[in-house]
Amino acid sequence: MHPAPPSVFRPDLFAGRTAVITGGGSGIGKAVARELAGLGAIVVIAGRKKARLEEAAADLIADTGGVVHAVPCNIRDEGSVKSLMARAAALGGGRIDYLVNNAGGQFPSPAGWIKTKGWHAVVETNLTGTFLCCREVFHASMDEHGGAIVNVIADMWRGFPGMAHTGAARAGVDNLTKSLALEWAWRGIRVNAVAPGIILSSGYANYDPVFRQVFLDMADNIPARRLGTEEEVSSSVCWLLSEGASFVSGATMRVDGAGSLWRMSWEVPDHDAMKRYGGRSVEAILTEHAAIEEDAE
Ligand code: ADE
């Protein structure tokens, strides 16, 4: 049982609406599922691990008294995504009103050591999987009935050192969000994204103690001077899905305590590997400038 946080939205905001949330069995996805179910939506959580998903659905029902279905799906598999959307449409009486593309996965590695297989796996999950879910929800329901999609990406605005694959994939989803917003506006479909910064999510419990402290210390580089919460991301997702955002499409909302505007993101060792054009030293340049000024006097 989770102490369901109060939502800022009215309790029946999503009554009678159907929402699919990929990666809805844990973390941010589960928080979104909890808020949507609490606000009256029929919620379908999708993920790869059946037992974990069913357990999450039971939790969410206990937390909210709402309607939550668990539908196993591998978003990298076209057939699996088609089945998910067909099942969700059936559960929603023929329509899916909302899709939250939250499922994702990556692993830390310096870029030079990412194997091709690992690169493809991350791009397939985060970028191709998101695309497949968008395309199939379009055909299963939204082309006919309209709807709203929110893609959960990441703070990758200044690159994503240490996980270059996920940065590239999430940047791709940011652009996909804009393309779909433009192509599907005339079908009554809004497509937006949310870019969470560093979030104190349920995954924190799995970190080793040393990394836990490193993670908490990241607050030093966030103007808000704290990490975000899953509920703070969920609240933004819910607003983008809601009618209150009916003129918002193609937007990416940063939920990061202004962290993405902060400069220092990566320790760069002292080095002289980036040679100046022409190969002159700082001393030579300064001497040259001083001579020019002397001449001008
Ligand atoms: N979460 C992480 N990877 C996933 C995948 N391939 N399908 C569904 N949920 C996921």
| Domain chopping of the chain, boundaries | 18-264
Point out the ligand 1 atom lying closest to the alpha carbon of residue 104.
Answer: 2
Instruction: Check pLDDT > 80 for residue 11.
Output: yes
Closest by CA to 170, choosing from 107, 231, 204, 122, is 122
146: left (phi over 0), alpha (psi -120 to 50) or beta: left
Contact assessment for residue 73 and residue 29, using Cβ atoms and an 8 Å cutoff: no
What's the DSSP call for residue 158?
T
Residue 175 CA, ligand 1 centroid: distance in Å = 21
Stretch 259-277: mean pLDDT, rounded?
Answer: 83
Its pTM stands at 0.92
Return the residue matching tokens 């990758």: 156
Return the residue matching tokens 């088609």: 82
Which has more pLDDT, 285 or 82? Answer: 82
At 239-257, the pLDDT tens digits run: 999 999 999 999 999 999 9
pLDDT tens-digit profile of 136-194? 999 999 999 999 999 999 999 999 999 999 999 999 999 999 999 999 999 999 999 99
Please list every protein residue whose CB sits less than 6 Å from any atom of ligand 1.
22-23, 47-48, 73-76, 103, 105, 125, 129
Of all residues in the chain, what percent are helix, strand and coil, respectively (each to 5)?
50, 15, 35
Cβ-proximal residues to 69 (8 Å cutoff; 6+ apart), any chain: 42, 43, 44, 45, 57, 88, 91
> How far is ligand 1, taken at its centre, from the CA of residue 76, in Å?
7
Q: Which residue has the tokens 């969410």?
A: 60
The total of other beta-carbon atoms located within 10 Å of residue 139's CB is: 13
* 187-244 per-position pLDDT tens digit: 999 999 999 999 998 877 788 888 888 888 989 989 999 999 999 999 999 999 999 9
Identify the band that residue 294 occupies on the pLDDT scale cut at 50, 70 and 90.
Answer: confident
Ligand 1 atom closest to the Cα of residue 80 is 7
Tracing tokens 């001449």 back to the chain, one arrives at: 295
5 Ramachandran zone, left/alpha/beta (phi>0; psi -120 to 50)? beta
Place of tokens 């980036």: 274
Give the residue-averaged pLDDT of 80-89.
98
Scan for tokens 């340049």, then name that residue.
285
Which has the closest alpha carbon to 41: 14, 22, 61?
A: 14
- Running DSSP on this structure, what letter comes out for residue 266? S
pLDDT at 273: 86
Instruction: Specify the ligand 1 atom closest to the Cα of 77.
Output: 6
CATH class of 18-264: alpha beta
Q: Which of 75, 83, 99 to mutate to test the pocket of ligand 1 (most atoms within 8 A of CB)?
A: 75
Atom 1 of ligand 1: nearest residue by CA position: 103
pLDDT of residue 4: 63
pLDDT at 2: 66
Task: Give residue 197's pLDDT.
Answer: 96
Give me the mean pLDDT over the 119-133 stretch.
Answer: 98
